[in-house]
Amino acid sequence: MENKTKKTDNRRRIEGVVTGNSMEKTVKVRVDTLESHPVYKKRIRRKKVYFAHTEKELEIGDKVIIKEASPYSKRKRWVVEGKVGEEEK
C-alpha cells in the first residue's frame, strides 16, 4: 500500500506595501493592521515594517505578499512570495 501524504506549509503570510527598495535583494514592507482600543473601543491603525528577501525588481508602492522564512540575515526573516493580483507563470 502506498501512503500519499501532502505536506502543508504552516508559514504565516502577510500582505503589505513596499516602502523601500534601495538595498540589494531586500525590500522594506509596511504592514498595517486595525485593532480596537481595549478601553475606548476606537479603531487604531498599527504599522509594522518587515525586511523581506526578493530576487525581483519591485517598485515603491507595490502590494506584495510576504512569507516567513529561515533567517537570511540579522533582520531579514521574510521572503516575498509575489505581487498581489499578479498571476503565476
pTM of the model: 0.82
Structural domain including 69 reads: 13-83
pLDDT of amino acid 17: 97
- pLDDT tens digits for 15-69? 999 999 999 999 999 999 999 999 999 999 999 999 999 999 999 999 999 999 9
DSSP per-residue codes, 25-67: TEEEEEEEEEEE-TTT--EEEEEEEEEEE-SS---TT-EEEEE
Whether residue 56 lies inside any domain: the answer is yes
Tell me whether residue 5 is in a domain. no
Nine-digit cell at 44?
Answer: 487604531
Provide the domain count of the chain. Answer: 1
Q: What angle do CA 87, 15, 12 make, to 5 degrees?
A: 100
What DSSP line would sit under 33-44, residue for residue? EEEE-TTT--EE
